[in-house]
Amino acid sequence: MTASDAPASSSGSDAGPDADPLRYATEYHAPVLSHEVTDRLITDAAGCYVDGTLGGGGHAKAMLDALAPKAEVIGIDQDADALAVACDRLKEEIDAGRFRALQGNFGRLRSLLDDAGIDTVDGLLLDLGVSSHQIDEPERGFSFQREGPLDMRMDPRGGLTAHQIVNHWDQRDIADAIFHYGDERRSRPIARAIVDARPLETTHDLADAVRSAVPERDEVKSLARVFQGLRIAVNAELDVLEDVLEQSVDVIREGGRIAVISYHSLEDRRVKRFLRYGNFEGKPIRDIYGTLIAPFEETPRSAIEAGEAEVESNPRARSARLRVAERTPDDAGTPVPTR
């Protein structure tokens, strides 16, 4: 089935009776909505596709299996550990010249592809956030359940760490990060408790500070929100998401597609607005005839969610929202003259 004749349903349960949701899962990571991604992203079976969040290589493998022998997939990840695991898994495809891995931040997509000698591609996949393996590794500091250093960097080669934020940022900036990126309404008392508990060295030090500021019944939710907020701040996740979406307009050929899987509303809101309107304010721009001018057209015009079977076998799929859009021709619409 090609992307264009895939049924326009908003549920992942239509992937067909043969679609085992765990087919591409490994101990490292179980990719979500892999059948829906390949069904809807691929418009040319012999084309070139980018997996901007390679992780354990599950989606990349699913794409390679669905593509023709002469197609190519480029996998990008900023985490060297993920690249090593994925390259090991995709050894045969590397030898066959069907897969290449690039280390870097997808926020620099244009220059990563320029360096690889690639102008435009037929499709781009982004499966946002961290992998199960990254969460499970205590030394990465992503989980409040495992004691480890306060790191939270997806790219451990440099940059801001959670340790720097909780030990050196102003209380107000910590509260803002927890409020805006973690959606935690008790951000101020939590930030005060963090500052009072300084110095904090481990994820458990941070978890104890959070627990001291929230009622017991809300502990787990608050811990998840605080850790999410700090992780987004450490990795500047919303900034690089906006960067890659803007660059995707230039990178994806007309008629090619983008598929983005988000796990929380902060990401999904940005993705939805950009794929519908070409901006992050959600502002429609129309030509003199009232036709919407936008670099993409969402297809279908709603998020695709995992079906029950997938959620049951992979709880991570519960919050996943897949949006797919097709790159519209550049000359579509007549721009409104500026006043």
Ligand X SMILES: C[S@@+](CC[C@H](N)C(=O)[O-])C[C@H]1O[C@@H](n2cnc3c(N)ncnc32)[C@H](O)[C@@H]1O
Residues lying near ligand X in the complex (CB under 6 A): 29, 31, 53, 55-59, 76-79, 82, 105-107, 127, 129-131, 154, 240
Q: Which residue carries 């898994």 as its tokens?
A: 89
Helix (H, G, I), strand (E, B) or coil at 259: strand
Helix, strand, coil percentages (3-state) for the chain, rounded to 5, are 45, 15, 40
Q: Which is nearer to ligand X, 72 or 77 (CB)?
A: 77
Quote the CA–CA distance of 317 and 308 in Å, as a whole number: 9
**Would you say 193 or 322 has its CB closer to ligand X?**
322
- Please give the span between the terminal C-alpha atoms of the chain, in angstroms, as a whole number: 47
* Smallest separation (angstroms) from ligand X to the CB of 11: 20
How far apart CA 234 and CA 230 sit, in angstroms, is: 6
Q: Closest CB to ligand X among 129 and 256?
A: 129
- State both tokens at 128: 């946002």
C-beta of 129 vs 278, nearer to ligand X: 129
| Minimum separation from the CB atom of position 325 to ligand X (A) | 18
CB of residue 206 to ligand X, shortest distance in Å: 21
Amino acid type, 198 = R
Query: Which amino acid would we find at residue 142?
Result: F
CA–CA distance, 251 with 121 (Å, rounded to integer) = 6
Q: Which residue is nearest to ligand X (CB)?
A: 55
* Minimum distance from residue 315 beta carbon to ligand X (Å): 14
Q: Confirm if 11 and 307 have CB atoms less than 8 A apart.
A: yes
Compute the half-sphere exposure of residue 98: CA atoms within 13 Å on the CB side of its CA.
20
Closest to ligand X by CB, 182 or 333: 182
CB contact at 8 A, 58 and 21: no
Nearest approach in angstroms of CB 296 to ligand X is 20
Q: 3-class SS at 55?
A: coil
Dihedral sign of CA atoms 272, 278, 281, 287 in order: negative
Q: Which is nearer to ligand X, 243 or 297 (CB)?
A: 243
Length of the chain: 339
Tell me the closest approach of the beta carbon of residue 233 to ligand X, in angstroms: 14
Handedness of CA 230, 29, 23, 103 (dihedral sign): positive
Q: Which is nearer to ligand X, 131 or 247 (CB)?
A: 131
Contact criterion met (CB below 8 Å) for 275 and 309: no
Least CB distance from residue 129 to ligand X, whole Å? 5
Give least dist CB 107 to ligand X, A: 5
Q: Which is nearer to ligand X, 65 or 201 (CB)?
A: 65
